[in-house]
Chain A
Amino acid sequence: MALKDKYDVVIIGSGPGGLAAAISAKKYGAEDVLIIERDVELGGILLQCIHNGFGVEIFKEDLPGPSYAQRFINEAMLLKVEALLDTMVLDITPQRRIFASSKINGFVDIQARAIVLAMGCRERTRAQVRLPGTRPAGVYTAGTAQRWVNVEGYMPGKRFVILGSGDIGMIMARRLTFEGAKVERVLEVMPYLTGLTRNYVQCLLDYDIPLQLQHTVKRILGHQRVEAIEAVRVNEKWEPIPGTEEIIPCDTLLLSVGLIPENELSKKAGVQLDALTGGPVVDNNFETSVPGIFAAGNVVHVYDLVDWVTEAGLAAGKSAARFALAERRREIRHIPLLAGHNVRYVVPHELDKQTLMEEEVRLQFRVKQPVEEPVWVEVHSENNLITRKSERYVRPGEMVTIVLTPRHYEEVERATSLTVSIVER
């Protein structure tokens, strides 16, 4: 695939939000649509969520995560959405220039007419719940363990304790049990389940995995590898209640303690974030505070169902396509005014060609070098001289003006840029 310099819509991330945005951008008329994905294939985290329960709202079917992703991947490919895989975006400017880096695609520098941020979310870690104790191997987020077990084909432990009763935690409890591991306990600091009841029944009750509410990990034990954790009951303020400690031998502690929108890139692009959601502030078109930069899915706020992420992606893709098309029309109408021989700069920098149909446009500039004899001031398109006038001399201290009038419209209409220069007679 030959990479273009400029795209109508560039989508960062190919999870459900990004795929939906790409598909919808194409459907609403964007021609060049590119997805940039950091992993080696499209689909995002859905590919490691091999359990069922996806698509009930959109497809009225109960699909596993990879199938849900595959349907959208297939549609995006059919629509000729382009993709840069194994590529990490380094930087986005508010002017929508994107810098990315890749082992296979090299250093990437492209301009987007519109951008959809669809980076999803990341997992909270041990530090964010401030778990005291040692720092041995065997403390992983549920998502990292999920990738190892389901995609890379390795078990990260034999005896597990899971902290957090979120859906990923409970689903991993069942998954690990399926693959022959023992899940000793699921601990939840809140006095209630934080995931879906359905998952409590199907993932924990079905396999006799004990859940303890209002419990947390007080400390991690073990130097090289986790040897045990100390569980403790907590009060309403999440403070450990002395005397309720229990040592649970295990070799792995999985953390399923919440998700946070992933917005490092949004910040670089100057997008305003909401401290509460952790994601960009968006309007009903999913446009952020930076014009032309849209955001959809878990990057905005963490959803409970993937179906809603898809819907947000569809809406954001449509808005991005509209923005990009307007941008294209503007680009066709607007042409740059360039400084030619002995000209330092020209104001205005761009010319809206439509204007010339009705009124004249005054071009003003300064020269670089004084010329103390008569010269031509000329305006050229790529091929033709459009107008010229004579000056008795030009000096850097004195501004020079030349006027384009409606009678130049026809010539200018065909031009893609105009150059102003000083020509000696």
Chain B
Amino acid sequence: MPETYDVIVIGGGAVGCMVARFLSRYRLSILLIEKEADIGMGASSANSAIIHAGYDPLPGTLKAKMNVAANLMWDTLAGELNIPFERRGDYVVAIGPKELPKLELLLEQGRRNGVPGMHIISAEEMRHREPNINPDVSGALWAPTGGICDPFAISIAAAENAVQNGVRILLETAFEDFIMDGKRIVGIKTNRGDFGCRWAVNAAGLYADVVMHKAGVRPEFKITPRRGEYCILDRAEITVNNVLFPVPSDISKGILVTATLHGNTIVGPNAQDIEDKEDRAVTYDGLGELWDGAHKLVPSLSPRHVIAVFAGLRASGNAPCETPGVDYNHDFIIEIPREVQGLVNLGGIESPGLTSAPAIALRVIELLKEAGEKLEEKPDWQPIRPPRPRFRDLPHEEQKRLIALDPRYGRIVCRCEMVTEGEIVAEIHAPIPARTYDAIKRRTWLGTGRCLGSFDMPRVVDILAQELGVSPLAITKKGPGSEFLVRPTKQVEG
């Protein structure tokens, strides 16, 4: 008899973690499985870090509903989970006279979606608000409810809070198949054995199609990975203080130029449909495309200021919108399908997926209630995830106090981002332990500065080895197979 849970969430991205966190409010036994060595390593790890206002999705789509509903939730959620989040607002910038009429259309679309506070500002006003803007700007759409966030922190904080409230999380655990009893799902098979469940939530992101097909649901549904490449610029060289979108094309929001919470400017993404669900390679041509897009909005940006390049994959689906009269074929799937019992099916959660994740989680709860699940609230549910100290954000007096309390906060391991040994050790022993270099990087932003970790890397490998009680040879960048080191210098083979 395998271990049995009320709910198993398949996939530890932003959506899966939010579902687990919101479900942890009820008397349910919950397991979340993630195939990678850490949570939030798929689409949730490489994106524009924006909490969208909601004017972009077509009215009537699930994307529009979820986006606008979720946008309202972010102040409370960020407060409860201690996620860095700033509601800075965002702009869609029209360049030249031809693009100007499109702003009206977007404004109208936003109003129909229920986005509050939007209006069009003049070219002069835009130049005033963002001095780096292309002087040919003809006007801009201003959406005050747009925000920026720390995208890594979202999945991690939600997962930690879920663990605090009794959810079990298994990493490096890959879904293989469902265990069926007739038309009913009674469990799942994984590389780590079988687990029983009454409900399975498909939150598999790029692999959502594979998972639902195993249950015989929506055989026509297909996820096409759409790669988006990004560049991060050195904050010491140039700073753009706002979130700037170009006027969107039919397939994408276009290449944007945006501020991050760490003060770096980020440029991207382009959009490239590919086959391989793991191909996060940055391409030579793609980087060229980014610069054309970036220069359209901010001509003074230079490739010389780049400190990092990366690519993310959007889990782009082909599900038609179910609202009558809306002709759209890339909508979210959020459903309990009729074909099988015991499946909550989520699919095609691409942008604005990160923004929508908390609203999707609430929708999952509604669906379960509609399916007759008696969800009983736990009186001791703890919605607050306690914050951990961030040395660089503290004034000198508090830094002093922190070091006096725990001297490990006095040793700076990452000089660019000012991350201390104390913070690294705290993450290694956190509710979701950071056991790889990249896991520590996503939690502390260490190694993301201009030296890209060349200073901290040997030191972090050392700290990981010491805290985990293993040899430095066993320390990996992102799980098995990505070891940093191969042998002691003096042990030559053969």
Task: Report A's interface with B, CB cutoff 8 A.
Answer: 38, 86, 88, 90-91, 99, 101-107, 109, 122-123, 125-128, 130, 132-137, 140-141, 143-144, 147-150, 152-158, 179-180, 218-221, 223-225, 240, 251, 264, 267
Given A123-B454, A140-B457, check contact A101 B403 (CB 8 Å): yes
Give the distance in Å from the alpha carbon of A423 to the alpha carbon of B455 in the complex.
60
Contact status A86-B458, CB under 8 Å: no
Q: What is the distance, in angstroms, from A58's C-beta to the closest C-beta of chain B?
A: 28
Contact status A155-B410, CB under 8 Å: no
Contact status B280-A135, CB under 8 Å: yes
In the bound complex, residues from chain A placing their C-beta under 8 Å from that of B408 are 103
Kindly state whether residue B4 has any CB partner on chain A within 8 Å.
no
Contact status B284-A219, CB under 8 Å: yes
In the bound complex, residues from chain A placing their C-beta under 8 Å from that of B286 are 132
Q: What is the distance, in angstroms, from A275's C-beta to the closest C-beta of chain B?
A: 10
Give the distance in Å from the alpha carbon of A136 to the alpha carbon of B436 in the complex.
13
In the bound complex, residues from chain B placing their C-beta under 8 Å from that of A144 are 454-455, 457-458
User: Which residue among A127, A133, A140, A218 has the maximum number of chain B CB atoms within 10 Å of its CB?
Assistant: A127
Give the distance in Å from the alpha carbon of A123 to the alpha carbon of B476 in the complex.
23
Give the distance in Å from the alpha carbon of A322 to the alpha carbon of B287 in the complex.
52
Contact status A107-B477, CB under 8 Å: no
User: Which residue among B473, B480, B487, B490 has the maximum number of chain A CB atoms within 10 Å of its CB?
Assistant: B487
Contact status A224-B478, CB under 8 Å: yes
In chain B, residues 145-186, which have Cβ atoms closer than 8 Å to a Cβ of chain A? none
Q: Can you name 18 extra interface pairs (CB under 8 A) apart from A127-B309, A128-B307, A156-B484?
A: A90-B399, A101-B410, A101-B411, A103-B407, A107-B403, A123-B454, A125-B452, A132-B282, A132-B284, A132-B286, A134-B279, A137-B478, A143-B454, A147-B458, A154-B488, A155-B485, A180-B493, A225-B481
Which A-B residue pairs are the 9 nearest by beta carbons? Answer: A224-B481, A180-B492, A137-B477, A103-B411, A107-B400, A88-B412, A224-B482, A137-B482, A125-B452
Contact status B421-A103, CB under 8 Å: yes
Output the nearest chain B residue to A267 by Cβ-Cβ distance.
B236
Give the contacting residue for B410; candidates A103, A128, A179; CB below 8 A.
A103
Total A-B Cβ pairs within 8 A: 154
Given A107-B410, A132-B309, check contact A153 B490 (CB 8 Å): yes
In the bound complex, residues from chain B placing their C-beta under 8 Å from that of A154 are 472-473, 485-489
Output the nearest chain B residue to A251 by Cβ-Cβ distance.
B486
Give the distance in Å from the alpha carbon of A225 to the alpha carbon of B287 in the complex.
23
Give the contacting residue for A125; candidates B454, B483, B485; CB below 8 A.
B454
**Can you list 23 A-B pairs with a CB-CB distance of less than 8 A?**
A90-B396, A90-B418, A101-B411, A106-B407, A107-B396, A107-B410, A109-B396, A122-B454, A123-B451, A126-B452, A127-B452, A130-B287, A130-B303, A132-B283, A132-B286, A132-B309, A140-B457, A147-B458, A154-B473, A154-B488, A219-B281, A224-B479, A267-B236
Contact status B306-A130, CB under 8 Å: yes
Task: Say which size band chain B's interface belongs to.
Answer: 35 or more
Give the distance in Å from the alpha carbon of A225 to the alpha carbon of B308 in the complex.
19
Task: Report B's interface with A, CB cutoff 8 A.
Answer: 232, 236, 278-284, 286-287, 303, 306-310, 391, 396, 399-400, 403-404, 407-408, 410-412, 415-416, 418, 420-421, 450-452, 454-455, 457-458, 462, 472-473, 476-490, 492-493
Contact status B284-A102, CB under 8 Å: no
In the bound complex, residues from chain B placing their C-beta under 8 Å from that of A90 are 396, 399, 412, 418
Given A180-B493, A223-B278, check contact A155 B487 (CB 8 Å): yes
In the bound complex, residues from chain B placing their C-beta under 8 Å from that of A221 are 281
Output the nearest chain A residue to B280 by Cβ-Cβ distance.
A134
Give the distance in Å from the alpha carbon of A149 to the alpha carbon of B491 in the complex.
12
Q: What is the distance, in angstroms, from B174's C-beta to the closest C-beta of chain A?
A: 15
Given A107-B403, A154-B488, A179-B489, check contact A132 B410 (CB 8 Å): no
Give the distance in Å from the alpha carbon of A127 to the alpha carbon of B464 in the complex.
25
Given A102-B411, A148-B458, A155-B489, check contact A127 B306 (CB 8 Å): yes
Q: What is the distance, in angstroms, from A352's C-beta to the closest C-beta of chain B?
A: 32
Contact status A137-B484, CB under 8 Å: yes
Give the distance in Å from the alpha carbon of A127 to the alpha carbon of B454 in the complex.
12
